[in-house]
Amino acid sequence: MTPTERRTTFREMHRAGFFVVPNPWDLGGLRRLEAMGFRAVASTSAGLAWSLGQEDRSLSRDQVLDHLRTLCQATDLPVNADFESGFAVRPDEVAANVRLAADAGVAGLSIEDQDGDGLFDASLAIERIAAAREAIDGVDPQAVLVGRCEGFLIGSTDIGAIVDRLVAYAEAGADCLYAPGVREPAHIDAIVRAVAPKPVNVLLMSDGPPPAELAALGVRRASTGSALARAAWDAFDLAAGELAAGDW
């Protein structure tokens, strides 16, 4: 499939129903997910960083772009890029980096509003989303832009403020809205209603609603984030610990 075909497929997947997007970090995981019948995948910044012996959000833009090219060239599945905060602050620089990600072949990408331990000023965050939208449209308007509010992940849990940001990101051109860390069904419902008819992504969490409940709330898609990578490393640590203790 061509990049445009994958993007068109991915966009259509957001129009109705519910689907899960798992997050592999290497080709071995990608192949397994393909075989299980998943219809799309997404990259994970944390999973990639851990596989390289680094911490999340420590990789360079070019490392991430190389990884995205590897994933996109290896599969016909649509790939949604975890593109962190766009690897820049200024909207024009975010736009330049988004163009590079689109050129790598991704079917969609997310732009976060996290700035260090806080969030970008709302007006700047909105400008960054608008710049990303313009950049994507310059490559292929079928590509899906995900606007992310990181409030829950940094402790800024005012649902009203988060909803306001997501609505603004939708108006600035985001196709799908995402507030990773939201758990309360009432909060999820508020987000879905506020940005409708645009689709919402929710991060699957052990203490959050399961997929069936998310679908009933009107969520269009759910992703696993770093959960698969954490599960793999937890199993690794357990086995290696047994080996080190002589229990194997």
* 84-142: pLDDT as tens digits: 999 999 999 999 999 999 999 999 999 999 999 999 999 999 999 999 999 999 999 99
Q: Are 200 and 191 in contact (CB under 8 A)?
A: yes
- Mean pLDDT of the 20-31 span: 98
pLDDT over threshold 90, residue 53: yes
In this prediction, residue 172 carries a pLDDT of: 98
Q: Angle at the Cα of 86 (from 62 to 60), degrees rounded to 5?
A: 30
Residues facing 34 on adjacent strands = none
Helix residue ranges, H only, 140-226 = 151-154, 159-172, 185-195, 211-216
For residue 172, give the nearest of 132, 144, 139 by alpha carbon. Answer: 132
Q: To the nearest whole percent, how much of the chain has pLDDT over 70?
A: 100
pLDDT tens column, 170-179: 999 999 999 9
Which residue type is seen at 192? V
In this prediction, residue 34 carries a pLDDT of: 98
Round the CA-based radius of gyration of the chain to a whole number and report it: 18
pLDDT over threshold 90, residue 247: no
Give all domains of the chain, ordered by start, each with its CATH number: 3-238 (3.20.20.60)
pLDDT over threshold 90, residue 248: no
Q: Which two tokens stand for residue 209?
A: 């609603």
pLDDT over threshold 90, residue 203: yes
- Mean pLDDT of the 196-223 span: 98
pTM for the model = 0.96
